[in-house]
Every structure is written in C-alpha cells, then in structure tokens.
A = this chain, B = another copy of it.
Amino acid sequence: MKTAVGISLGYNQYGKAEVRLVHIDRSTPVHQIKDVSVTSQLIGDFAATHLTGDNSSVIATDTQRNTVYALARLHGVGPIENFGLRVARHFVDKYPQVTGSRQEVEEYSWNRISTSVAGLHDHAFIRGSTEVRTTVVTKHGADEVVISGLRDLTVLKSTGSEFHGFPEVEYTSLVETTDRVLASAVSARWRYVGVEHDWDKTFVGVRQLMLDRFASTHSLSLQQTLYAMGEGVLSAYPEIAEIRFSMPNKHHFLVDLSKWGLDNPNEVWYAADRPYGLIEASIVRDDAPPAGGVWEGISGFV
C-alpha cells in the first residue's frame, strides 16, 4: 500500500461512542430500569481503510450501535460488566478481521419515586446522584480483562482531617492545619482477575468500603485516606488485582473575617474551583498478574 517510506499505521481502534441505551424490564408490573452509555470499539486488521479507503473489512460504526441495541433486546443488560463482555465477544467471535474489542460502559442511577400515599412506585423513577458506575472490558483474542470503577463519588468530611509536617521550602506559603475540610470527587477503577464474578455484589461492596474508609480514617493527608480506601478494597476482595484512584483535593478555604472583628472557628468556608490538588495512585496486590496494556487509553490516570 502506498505510503511514505518508514511510516506506518500503529495501534488503532474505531467504533461508536456514547450509545445511550435505556432498558426497561417489564416482566412484572414492578419495572426495572437500566440506563447506560456504551462506547464500542473494534481492534483488528483495518489498515486498508486507513491507507486506501478500502472499507471491505469495516464493520460500520452504525452496525456496532445496532448490535448494542439488539443484544440488549435479546439478553437484557444485567451487570454492565457482563454486557460489555457479551458485546465484545459477539464481535470478536463473529468477524475474523476483528481480533479485539474494547467496550466501555457507564451506568446512571435511578431510584423509585417514594410517593406519599403508596410508597415506592412501580414505574415512576427519579434520577439518583451524579455518581457514575463504569466498566472497561478489553478483549484481545481470548484474553479478557475487566476494569470496573466509579466516578464523581463526591464526599466531604467537616472535621477529622489535618495537614502538617510538610517541609517549608522555596515558594511554600501553605500554613499547617490540624483541622480542615477534606472534600473530593472520587474516581476509581479496579482491575479484576478473571471474568466470572458477582459484579453487582462486588461493586456495592467496594463502594461501601471506600465510604467506610473515607469516613473512618482520621486523615493526615489525602494520600493517606486514598491508600486506606484502596487497601481496604484489596484486603476484602481477592478477585481484585489492583485499584487506581484519582482524587482531586477540592479545596475549601476558611474565610478570614478578622478584619471586621469576627472569628471563624471552622464554620464559614469558600469552596474553590481551580486550581485544585490532585492525588493519583494505584494500590496493587504483590502477586497480581501483569496488566498488559489495558490501562492505556483509560481516560486520564483513572
């Protein structure tokens, strides 16, 4: 194929992004709702379309979208990890030119409306928090890796957080504190060993452990809190090889009112936007199988 000498196509993937799928399970009068966004990508031998525009191997992105919907109709959605695996396997099993697939699924939460006369409603729902459950399923040939997570789990402690003992170096202006507001919008992803798990149960457990550790850790640094959260998860879930966190330190600054004779005993705070601290780390199991390249392409560190 005609291209400049010494230049070639490297890693590539293509697909349909953000396929918005709402599935209603109407098998009983008490409806179940599943609200997801699926980004489907295929990996394989697609050099021809890049080099000459020959599309004879290209499974159109529209076809990928239709497949997502059709598989949801045929098998429902269920845990997003299973759904991602199902879609990835469909493509890799069916098309010889497709050697791999990456399925990224996000799930948005809904709760039943609690009515004043009849309690929880059968088919009326209210959107939950901004928190999003995520998964990235990567399949290369027979190798399947599932990395699940959540993002925008926004938490705050109004006390029980200190920050001091850091060195006073050039350009340091921060003052030590033994009582500050600690707030973050937690993004986390954890890599599973194996692909046969009770995904929903583990997700609920991991999330609860994070909240428990965030709440119970008397924090000397956001790093310490982060590590406690990750260590808790790895200790409790042997099926998780590794967990990564990206935790912004959403600064709350105590407002100085002393000019006007007012004290401020940690009551009135200014919630700043930017800049913000950013703490990112992975906690790993020593005997974890290698990750391969599955983290590459994840949006940011997490």
Contacts and interface: CB of A to CB of B under 8 A. Distances in A.
Interface residues of A, number: 149
A215 to B, nearest CB: 4
A135 to B, nearest CB: 16
B226 A278 contact: no
B170 A260 contact: yes
B174 A63 contact: yes
Given A50-B224, A127-B155, A221-B49, A270 B171 contact: no
Given A63-B172, A69-B268, A155-B127, A224 B181 contact: no
Contact of A267 (B25, B37, B265): B25
Interface string A6-48: 1111111111111111111110000101010101010000100
A141 interface: no
Interface stretch (A78-86, A195-203, A282-290): A282-290
Contacts of A9: 227, 281-284
B278 A39 contact: yes
A277 interface: yes
Contacts of A115: 211-212, 215-216
Contacts of A129: 126-130
Interface in A236-254: 242, 244, 248-249, 252
A231 B14 contact: no
A99 interface: no
Q: Give 7 closest A-B pairs by Cβ, nearest first.
A: A53-B220, A12-B281, A127-B154, A124-B215, A10-B282, A62-B174, A50-B227
